[in-house]
């Protein structure tokens, strides 16, 4: 018995929609559990971090990417391979420092907010997709790259784009191993 060619894509779409709806329910429950947006943001970051440290093994096994030689190459792999693989979008990458250790991932479309129109006024400091920052930070840490990851702009807060900032904390020469 053969499958129709569009079947796999249909299952992917259903799974993505289920994930997005489940994520929205998770954030709504966290907002009920915590009074302060900062506590919700921290909880989402911790959850994302836990996901990232586990997800990196799957990513490395499925993507067959080679070792990155620079921070810019790492940022490109995150955008062009990881985001595409797990969220179905490809953010653009821009370097925002002369030192070459700060990058921005600019998302034209953020699939986690497909069913969210705007944040309630009383939740103005909520970073709805902060889970993504934790995932990136956790995954990078598992490949021995310490980084700070945060949202710089968010369409849910009225910004023109959604922008995630990644700052690698070590200088490139610190990464070299001694022999």
Domain ranges for the chain: 37-117+126-168
Please give the pLDDT value at position 179: 43
pLDDT at 171: 61
Mean pLDDT split into 10-residue runs, the chain, 179 residues = 51 71 94 96 98 94 91 94 92 89 93 87 93 97 95 92 93 51
115 forms beta bridges with none
> Count of alpha carbons within 13 Å of 144, Cβ hemisphere only?
8
pLDDT at 173: 55
CATH number of the 37-117+126-168 domain:
3.30.1380.20
Distance CA 57, CA 74 (A): 16
């Amino acid at each position: 018995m053969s499958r129709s060619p569009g079947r796999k894509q249909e299952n992917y779409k259903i799974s993505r929609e289920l994930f997005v709806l489940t994520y929205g329910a998770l954030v709504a429950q966290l907002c009920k559990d915590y009074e302060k947006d900062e506590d919700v943001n921290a909880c989402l970051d911790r959850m994302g971090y836990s996901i990232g440290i586990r997800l990196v093994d799957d990513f490395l096994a499925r993507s067959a990417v080679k070792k990155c030689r620079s921070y810019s190459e790492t940022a490109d792999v995150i955008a062009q391979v990881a985001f595409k693989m797990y969220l179905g979008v490809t953010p653009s990458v821009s370097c925002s420092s002369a030192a070459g250790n700060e990058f921005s991932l600019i998302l034209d479309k953020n699939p986690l907010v497909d069913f969210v129109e705007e944040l309630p006024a009383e939740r103005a400091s909520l970073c709805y997709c902060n889970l993504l920052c934790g995932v990136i930070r956790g995954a990078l840490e598992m490949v021995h790259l310490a980084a700070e990851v945060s949202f710089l702009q968010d369409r849910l807060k009225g910004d023109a784009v959604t922008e995630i900032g990644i700052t690698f904390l070590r200088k490139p020469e610190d990464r070299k191993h001694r022999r």
